[in-house]
Amino acid sequence: MNDIATRVWNHKWKIDPIVRSLIDTDFYKLLMCQSVFRKHPTTQVRFSLINRSIHVPLAHLIDEGELREQLDHVRTLSLTRGESTWLRGNTFYGKRQMFRPDFMEWFENLRLPEYHLERVGEQYELTFEGPWPEVMLWEIPALAILMELRSRAVLRDMGRFELQVLYARAMTRVWEKVERLRALEDLRLADFGTRRRHSFLWQDWCVQALREGLGDNFAGTSNCLIAKNRDVEAIGTNAHELPMIYAALADGDAALARAPYDVLADWQEEHEGNLRIILPDTYGTEGFLENAPDWLAGWTGIRVDSGDPATGAETAIRWWKERGENPTEKLVIFSDGLDVDKIEELHRQFQGRVRVSFGWGTLLTNDFRGLVADDALAPFSLVCKAVEADGRPTVKLSDNPRKAMGPKAEIARYKRVFDVGDQDAMEVVV
């Protein structure tokens, strides 16, 4: 196990790469990338960094030259032979050769495209443009770099003993959470903490802690590199990116209304079993389920990723019953802003009613709240989203209006097309 405090002390080296592998990314990114490579290889997209927590002045905290060094380093990366062998030969979700030979050949020759970086006030404007399969792979490393550079900036002036104590306290906090989770019968939990982690080494430590502390109740990690190195399951399905871009490409309101279901029809061609998970909240869960085709009710489960999680799960249970499905055989994955209190609450509420699983993210891999002066290491909400596809703006509504994004006129249009009424605004923690 790495001595994290000593490694952090050694970040004073000229360059210590934050992202050292193209598979230091979330598993769902690679699954989606293969689908995009097959269906939309020439679609041109633009992704953009969005700091929802504007009180965190990234351009003040992070040196632009250091940020460029880290981004430039990522552009030198390519798959190693061992990484390629793992992707080609490993069994994922019970399926061997999940990644097709044509996709792997493309991925093995990939270098990530150029980026645009500009300082705007106390924030950075960071964008990526080009073919969808290439540009989409920038999202996770870009977020990981910015989050870790912010951590390094805060820790830079700390001495060795101060760092040792800080990480001892953070480790104790994680382990205390693990001890509480041990008491939950039939718990199923995975690490979803790559995109807003404190650091790669810290995420790796958290995965090892979960593996030892939870045993078989630990389902795996979304991080492909950690899954490979630690011999645990790689976990993930699909994300909002797919319906957002499919919707942007739709011509007319009727095609727009069909777009979220077209995404899943394409997904169904490639995947089965536990990869058939619905993410219904991109344009409002209620409307999505009300208008969903009958074949979607036969899918394995649903991921609840915005709004009140209990309400989302109750909505799914009601929908399954209305469609003649048995909810106790269905999987509900909770993945929005979870911490141990909420995991305990939701597990108690839904155990036995559905198959419950948790994707534990930022408050697993970046909970340093209250551990340094001015709470300067508290996690914050940073995202990198597709904002344009073939020259058209993308829109996300979510079940929480504070997560909505897109031009105001397009947001209004999407609300009309998807019949989204009043929504309850909830605090966006991470």
pLDDT, tens digit, 9 for 90 and up, residues 64-115: 999 999 999 999 999 999 999 999 999 999 988 999 999 999 999 999 999 9
pLDDT above 90 for 402: no
Distance CA(48)–CA(388), nearest Å, equals 9
Q: What is the pLDDT of residue 9?
A: 75
Residue 428 falls inside a structural domain: no
Q: What is the pLDDT of residue 373?
A: 95
pLDDT in tens, 323-341: 999 999 999 999 999 999 9
pTM for the full predicted model = 0.95
Residues 206 and 286 in one domain: yes
Residues 263 and 399 in one domain: no
Q: What is the pLDDT of residue 13?
A: 52
Residue 427 falls inside a structural domain: no
Integer CA distances (angstroms), 165 to 149, 174, 176, 368, in order: 20, 14, 16, 12
pLDDT above 90 for 171: yes
DSSP symbol at 33: H
Q: What is the pLDDT of residue 78?
A: 97
Q: H or E stretch including 218? A: strand 218-221
Q: What is the pLDDT of residue 430?
A: 67
Residues 81 and 216 in one domain: no
DSSP symbol at 217: G
Residues 17 and 151 in one domain: yes
- DSSP track, 390-413: TTEE--B--SSGGG-BS-HHHHHH
Integer CA distances (angstroms), 265 to 64, 125, 295, in order: 43, 35, 9
pLDDT in tens, 344-369: 999 999 999 999 999 999 999 999 99
pLDDT in tens, 102-141: 999 999 999 999 999 999 999 999 999 999 999 999 999 9
Q: What is the pLDDT of residue 429?
A: 65
Of 366, 393, 409, the last residue of a domain is 366
Residues 305 and 414 in one domain: no
Cβ–Cβ under 8 Å, residues 395 and 412: no
The CA-CA-CA angle for residues 374, 342, 330, to 5°, reads 145
Which pLDDT band holds residue 8 (cuts at 50, 70, 90)? Answer: confident
Q: What is the pLDDT of residue 424?
A: 77
Beta strands in 232-335 (DSSP E): 277-278, 301-304, 331-334
Burial 131-151 (b: 16+ CB within 10 A, else e): bbbbbbbbbbbbbbbbbbbbb
Residues 304 and 180 in one domain: yes
Residues 97 and 204 in one domain: no
CB atoms within 10 A of CB 218: 22
Residue 429 falls inside a structural domain: no
Which pLDDT band holds residue 6 (cuts at 50, 70, 90)? Answer: confident
Residue 93 falls inside a structural domain: yes
Residue 374 falls inside a structural domain: no
Quick one: which of 83, 61, 77, 216 has its CA closest to 151? 61
Residues 219 and 334 in one domain: yes
Residues 144 and 238 in one domain: no
Distance CA(245)–CA(77), nearest Å, equals 27
Residue type, 380: F
Quick one: which of 374, 334, 364, 363 has its CA closest to 351? 334
Quick one: which of 231, 270, 221, 273 has its CA closest to 26? 221
* Close Cβ partners of 81 (under 8 Å, ≥ 6 residues apart): none
Quick one: which of 279, 292, 286, 297 has its CA closest to 359? 279
Q: What is the pLDDT of residue 12?
A: 55
Distance CA(294)–CA(316), nearest Å, equals 14
* Close Cβ partners of 246 (under 8 Å, ≥ 6 residues apart): 259, 260, 262, 263
Q: Which long-range contacts (CB under 8 A, 24 or more apart) does 414-417 make?
A: 414/247, 414/256, 414/283, 417/253, 417/256, 417/257
The CA-CA-CA angle for residues 278, 283, 287, to 5°, reads 80
Structure tokens at 85: 């062998």
Write out the residue range of the structural domain in which residue 113 sits: 4-158+379-418
pLDDT above 80 for 11: no
Q: What is the pLDDT of residue 5?
A: 87
Distance CA(63)–CA(295), nearest Å, equals 51
Mean pLDDT, the chain, integer: 95
In angstroms and rounded to an integer, the radius of gyration of the C-alpha atoms of the chain is 21
Residue type, 311: T
Cβ–Cβ under 8 Å, residues 360 and 354: no
Which pLDDT band holds residue 15 (cuts at 50, 70, 90)? Answer: low
Count of alpha carbons within 13 angstroms of residue 209, beta-carbon side: 21
| Span 143-158, average pLDDT | 95
Residues 48 and 175 in one domain: no
CATH code of residue 252? 3.20.140.10
Q: How many domains is the chain built from? A: 2
Residue 371 falls inside a structural domain: no
Residues 359 and 383 in one domain: no
pLDDT in tens, 235-274: 999 999 999 999 999 999 999 999 999 999 999 999 999 9
Residues 87 and 99 in one domain: yes
Residue 117 falls inside a structural domain: yes
| Span 280-296, average pLDDT | 96
Q: What is the pLDDT of residue 124?
A: 97
Q: What is the pLDDT of residue 7?
A: 78
pLDDT in tens, 202-221: 999 999 999 999 999 999 99
Residue 254 falls inside a structural domain: yes
Q: What is the pLDDT of residue 258?
A: 98
Which pLDDT band holds residue 14 (cuts at 50, 70, 90)? Answer: low
Structure tokens at 374: 């001015």
Collapsed DSSP state (helix, strand, coil) of residue 323 = coil
pLDDT in tens, 216-232: 999 999 999 999 999 99
pLDDT in tens, 302-326: 999 999 999 999 999 999 999 999 9
